[in-house]
Amino acid sequence: MAATPAKVKKLADQLITCITGLTPEEDPANFGLCREFALRSFKGYKFGRTNQFDVNSKLSGLEEKLRIYNRDDIADALRSRLNELPVSTFTPELLSLFLTLSDRPLENAHLDDLDALIRHDQGPKGLTWADIIAEEPLEGEIWKDVDFGAESSDEWSEEGEDDVVEGFVLKGDREGLEALKKAQYWDVKHRVRPIEEEIDVSLGAGGVENISIISEVQAVREVLFMLLGHPCVLFQSLNGIVSVETPALSTQFALRHTSLLAFKALLNWYGEKGTHLNRIRYFTSIRNIHVSPEQQTFTSAVAEKLFLLDQRLIEIEQRFVGNATTNQIASLLSLQSELEPLLHPYILLSNIIGAITNPRTPIPQTTLATLHLEHLFTSACTLQSTGDHQTFTFMTSLFFTSLQTYLRPIRTWMERGELRPSEIFLVSQTLTPDQVEPGGLWHDQFALRTDPATGALQAPRFVHAAAARIFITGKSVVFLQRLAEHHLPTAMLSTDAANAAQDAELTVPDSGGGSDSLAPFQDTFAAAFSAWIGARHHSVSSRLRDILYRDCGLWRSLDALDCVYLCRDGHRFDVLAGAVFEKIDKGVENWGDRFLLTEMVQGVFAGVGCVEGGRLRMRGRMQAGVTVREGRKSVKMLKGVEVDYALPWPIMNVINKQALEAYKSVFTLLLQIRRAQHALKRLTTLKILTTLKRGSGEGALYYSLKHRLLWFTNTLYYYLTDLVLLPQTAQMRAKMAKALDVDGMVGVHAEFVNRIREQCLLGPKLAPIHQTIITLLDLSLAFADAQTSRAARLLSHSSEDLSMHDIPPPRRRPGPATSSSSSDDDDDDGEGEGEGEEDDGDGDGDGDETSHQDEGGHKRRMVAASVRFNAMLDFVKAGLRGVARAGVMPHLETLAEGLDGVWWVVWFG
């Protein structure tokens, strides 16, 4: 390490002496220790030199801050001195020290303080009286005071002295002075007292002594002072309320030519107007940084109107200045007639301000911020209807000035999809872009701001009609921006280009300024505002709609939903349903395996162009604690079969999850009906006619119940597919093609979903009818299972080596009884289960007795099932007709008439 310079050692010695008081002469040992410690610390110090660039940056920032806060004088002084400062080795350290020691230079810096730092040049000292007196004191006869009076000559007499004094005194206008004193009516000393003949003494508060006479010019000036907001004698303002008779105004004033009552009545009229003007002045004087921009604009517009009124009052006051030299006649009545139309708009404005600042009922802050727009709009409509064009123009000018500020966030929302960060705008953001799911972008991210208590829209009344389009337009812009993020070419276009040709400001034709205008202001404004909104709405919404149709595959998704859920392709639906039913009938425990079912459903719809196999998923769920053999006895088991088709996220904003649930419920009902049909049609494969006795009636009962069940299921299936789903789907597609925006598309599809839910008997109002239909379908399964079991028992008695499907046709005995049996064995095997004859004696007696007992019990069960079927069918038809007659769902009458055909089947059978 380099040796310590001698200069540093010398400075260190001085520093030790100043701090500790030690000297090398008095205490060399301790002084040496201190010096060694100090020098060692100097050699190993860890602090580097000041960063000159950091210092320059801080100084530049300080200069910029001073200029931003309009302190250019201080900034110029700082910059000029920095430029004059000589550069040395320790300049950055000195400047850094000054910056560290500075105390809020923006508030505390003053140019006057620089004068104390200016050193004047020490030039040659000038001659002063002090120097002169110091050299030559004022002594001697020449410096003594002279008594001119003692040495005056006899020519100076008292009269001459008075003349000289009078020559230096100006003569005043005593008459003008007295007139000026008399004109100061506000001064008690100079008030003009009336004589008893001039005024009715009984009208005064304390007699003639308490009344002062003033001129009408003075009264007019007092009135103008009061209207301008200045203090005066005739009126007193307390908390903005102008009064004429108060305890403070103990002395009353009167006019010579007017009764005191008439004079006070005029003053009260002016005082009432002054009270309204004071309310306006107080409203404009309030400075609150927390008010909304809409309120600030309104306050500024009111202040401008108040300034125009003050200018007009000053012009009127100028006419009465120097009244003696003009021909202007001072009259309170004339001034009243002149000010009446001038002050009338301000009186209405004062009432509006009173309603805003002191509402009768509590109003939310969001509504209070735009309440002035509501009142101005209502006042303008009323004034136009009454023909008050001057006040109407006054109110509309205030309204449109305040409206422009209110329209700015609306324009920003519709053009860029940006929300104003406040609680005043009519649209609120419920979820952030990171929180919302892509499929809920249209429905979940934004919402119209409504009153939690009443549900009313928190916006002025004139915005309500267009609020929905404003809301839709902004959401469409956000939707397009999200599509652009997913690199959709047509959505990459800027939305500003579509709005570039539109006017930036809202313009409304003059509907009240001219006498020939007949259009109501409310209708004229509504038309202009609707056109202003509609241009932007149509441009953005139509483009988003076309993108959803063309690029996002909305039509293709609708076709896929029809095929998968609504049985558009009956063959593929039957293949899918048959495969599921086969697994259930065989009792396969893993019949609902989602991998196997998904592979199966993707294979079934593999050849359909509108269905993307990768979006299909299928699974089956069983109720807890229920086996497949137990569950297969009811169609309710099929509620666990779920088919999912994953739509693209843009389409999910049109077809939401609730709509997909409706599709799935219709699919479940169709699957349940197909399940009952499948079970009934399987009975045609059972060849058991050889084991039935003739003449028992069981065959006729079997045929009758089977055909009624088939008729019921077929009629219901035909009603759902051909009379409900097919026409409703076609109608929905036609309306969807005409939709103007995404909300229109969502509304059309929601209406379609509600219609098919109700017409397919899935609504909450038709729950009893739907439950009865499910019970009838379960009855079909029970009937089919009973016949299958019956065939199995009869088969065990006839031949244990043959299959039920391979039993040959029965041998018929000659006789007229053969007409009751069917000759078409291949088509209706097992249908004559109760009509067969006994065997020719091949079986033993025990078997015949058991067969007779089983036959009787089975017949009774079929009779009970037939009675139950008839009762439930009557309930269904009565319920359908009851709802149809109520006018709620007249289409259900068609289904009821179709079910009437079941009785024809009974009669024909």
List all residues 6 or more positions away from 790 whose beta carbon is below 8 Å from its beta carbon.
688, 833, 854, 858
Q: What is the pLDDT of residue 720?
A: 93
Q: What is the mean pLDDT of the chain?
A: 78
Find the helix packing angle between 845-885 and 892-899, rounded to 10°: 150
pLDDT score of 64 more than 50: yes
815 φ/ψ sector (left φ>0, alpha ψ -120 to 50, else beta) = left
Q: Is 5 helix (H, G, I), strand (E, B) or coil?
A: coil
Q: How confident is the model at residue 731 (pLDDT cuts 50, 70, 90)?
A: very high
Domain ranges of the chain: 6-44, 52-104, 211-321+330-358, 377-486, 554-793
Mean pLDDT score, 431-435: 84
Q: In angstroms, rounded to a whole number, what is the distance separating the alpha carbons of residues 195 and 256?
A: 10
Per-residue pLDDT tens over the stretch 763-776: 888 999 999 999 99
Strands 241-243 and 252-254: unpaired
Per-residue pLDDT tens over the stretch 884-896: 888 777 888 888 8
Q: How confident is the model at residue 777 (pLDDT cuts 50, 70, 90)?
A: very high
Q: In angstroms, rounded to a whole number, what is the distance separating the alpha carbons of residues 8 and 487?
A: 71
Looking from the CA of 881 toward its CB, the CA atoms found within 13 Å total 11
Higher pLDDT, 511 or 697: 697
Please state, as a whole number, how many other Cβ atoms lie within 10 Å of the Cβ of residue 12: 19
Q: Among 221-235, 459-473, 838-852, which stretch is predicted with the lowest mean pLDDT?
A: 838-852
Angle, vertex CA 739, rays to CA 735 and CA 742, nearest 5: 130
Q: Which helix (H) or strand (E) holds 472?
A: helix 464-485
Higher pLDDT, 836 or 389: 389
Q: Per DSSP, which regions of 856-902 are E strands?
A: none
Q: How confident is the model at residue 332 (pLDDT cuts 50, 70, 90)?
A: confident
Q: Among 68-72, 253-257, 759-763, which stretch is predicted with the lowest mean pLDDT?
A: 253-257
Q: How confident is the model at residue 599 (pLDDT cuts 50, 70, 90)?
A: very high
pLDDT score of 819 more than 90: no
Q: How confident is the model at residue 3 (pLDDT cuts 50, 70, 90)?
A: low
Q: Among 23-27, 100-104, 194-198, 365-369, which stretch is predicted with the lowest mean pLDDT?
A: 194-198
- Percent of residues, the chain, with pLDDT higher than 90: 22
pLDDT score of 589 more than 60: yes
Per-position b or e across 494-513, b if 16+ CB within 10 A of its CB: ebeebbeeeeeebebeebbe
Nearest to 303 by CA among 353, 369, 242: 353
Q: What is the pLDDT of residue 824?
A: 39
Mean pLDDT score, 92-119: 80
First and final CA of the chain: distance in angstroms? 125
Per-residue pLDDT tens over the stretch 780-795: 998 888 888 877 776 6
Per-residue pLDDT tens over the stretch 115-174: 766 655 455 667 777 777 777 777 777 777 666 555 554 544 455 555 555 555 556 677
**Locus of tokens 């719809």:** 605
Question: What are the φ and ψ backbone dihedral angles of 811, each rounded to 5 degrees?
Answer: -85, 125
Per-residue pLDDT tens over the stretch 206-218: 445 567 777 888 8
Q: In angstroms, rounded to a whole number, what is the distance separating the alpha carbons of residues 460 and 356?
A: 14
pLDDT score of 757 more than 60: yes
DSSP 186-214: TSGGGPBPPPTTTS-GGGSSS-GGGEEE-
Q: What is the pLDDT of residue 487?
A: 66
Cβ-defined contacts of 452-459 (< 8 Å, 24+) = 457/426, 458/364, 458/366, 458/367, 458/426, 459/370, 459/426
pLDDT score of 181 more than 80: no
Q: What is the pLDDT of residue 107?
A: 82
Q: In angstroms, rounded to a whole number, what is the distance separating the alpha carbons of residues 380 and 342?
A: 17
Q: What is the pLDDT of residue 775?
A: 93
Q: Which spans in 136-292 are helix H? A: 158-167, 174-183, 216-227, 260-285
8 Å CB contact between 829 and 689:
yes
Q: Estimate the share of the chain in helix, then strand, then coil, as percent rounded to the nearest 5.
A: 65, 5, 35
Q: What is the pLDDT of residue 124?
A: 60
Q: In angstroms, rounded to a whole number, what is the distance separating the alpha carbons of residues 59 and 597?
A: 76
**Locus of tokens 């599709």:** 663
Q: What is the pLDDT of residue 276?
A: 92
Please state, as a whole number, how many other Cβ atoms lie within 10 Å of the Cβ of residue 656: 20
Please state, as a whole number, how many other Cβ atoms lie within 10 Å of the Cβ of residue 360: 6
Per-residue pLDDT tens over the stretch 391-426: 999 999 999 999 988 888 888 888 888 887 766 788
Q: Is 645 helix (H, G, I), strand (E, B) or coil?
A: strand
Q: How confident is the model at residue 814 (pLDDT cuts 50, 70, 90)?
A: very low
8 Å CB contact between 532 and 506:
yes
Angle, vertex CA 825, rays to CA 820 and CA 829, nearest 5: 95
Q: What is the pLDDT of residue 905?
A: 47
Total-model pTM: 0.65
pLDDT score of 192 more than 70: no
* DSSP summary character for residue 722: I
Per-residue pLDDT tens over the stretch 687-716: 553 344 444 566 777 788 888 899 999 999
8 Å CB contact between 741 and 545:
yes
Please state, as a whole number, how many other Cβ atoms lie within 10 Å of the Cβ of residue 540: 25
Q: Among 320-334, 367-381, 832-846, 892-906, which stretch is predicted with the lowest mean pLDDT?
A: 832-846
**Locus of tokens 């009353």:** 252
Q: Among 8-22, 358-372, 506-520, which stretch is predicted with the lowest mean pLDDT?
A: 506-520
Q: In angstroms, rounded to a whole number, what is the distance separating the alpha carbons of residues 277 and 223?
A: 13
Q: In angstroms, rounded to a whole number, what is the distance separating the alpha carbons of residues 160 and 144?
A: 28
Q: In angstroms, rounded to a whole number, what is the distance separating the alpha carbons of residues 54 and 100?
A: 13
Q: What is the pLDDT of residue 172?
A: 66
pLDDT score of 244 more than 90: no
The CATH code that applies to domain 554-793 is: 1.20.120.1900
pLDDT score of 312 more than 90: yes
Q: In angstroms, rounded to a whole number, what is the distance separating the alpha carbons of residues 867 and 657?
A: 42
State the Cα torsion 94-95-97-101 to the nearest 10°: 140
Q: What is the pLDDT of residue 241?
A: 86
pLDDT score of 727 more than 90: yes
